[in-house]
Amino acid sequence: MVSFRNLLPALLIMLIPSIVQAEPSKTPRFLMDEPMSLWDWGFYQLRKRVDRLEGKKIGEALFTFGAATYDWDKNRIIIEGVFSGESTQKSCVNTINKFKGTLASTYSSPERLLVNAERLFTSMFSHAGGYQSTKRPDDFGKQLIKIVLFEIYIHDIKKENSSISCTGTYLSDNVSIVVK
């Protein structure tokens, strides 16, 4: 027969590991307590989408890396792409238009591009699973694509220290070009 006196040390040994606990330090605790907004979620998804293009040929240039940021003062979502290719105006216009189409998963008409871009931004900046707030504006995606600005930089692979950059939006076929 086992006595209580003999079981007591075994019980104490078994309880000690469950009593000792580690707590998250100040920084992880702060991050755990911060909510993720739909703005954060949308940018997370947008950056992932841009990152997936690395190493792909878009238009006449090779996409090397990109970024998606927000300019608070200008109220602009800026999608940047850095490419290797020819530093010509024609190449810049072609590449930025293909870049816009690639992100929106379409290469067809400008009308189709706007429809797809609106759907893309609506889905990226929405709850996963389809939940939709009743306070969300009806033209939510359209409002987002109005503030998107594309900036691309093409570094010439044949001419040293030669590059070109251009900017454009989903709403216009106009492209602004800067030769360096």
The rounded distance, in Å, linking the Cα atoms of 99 and 165 is 13
What is the Cα–Cα distance from 49 to 42, expressed in whole angstroms?
A: 11
Each residue of 19-66: pLDDT tens digit? Answer: 556 788 888 888 788 888 889 999 999 999 999 999 999 988 999 999
Q: What is the mean predicted confidence (pLDDT) over 166-177?
A: 93
- The model's pTM is 0.80
Neighbour count for residue 29 (Cβ, 10 Å): 11
The pLDDT tens digits for 57-113 are 998 899 999 999 999 999 999 999 999 999 999 999 999 999 999 998 876 677 889
Above 90 in pLDDT, residue 1? no
How large is the average pLDDT for residues 127-152?
87
Question: Amino acid identity, residue 141?
Answer: G
Q: Residue 43: enclosing H or E segment and its boundaries? A: helix 38-51
More confident residue, 15 or 144: 144
- What is the model's pLDDT at position 153? 96
The span from the CA of 145 to the CA of 142, in Å, is 5
pLDDT score of 14 more than 70: no
Residue for token digits 């067809």? Answer: 108
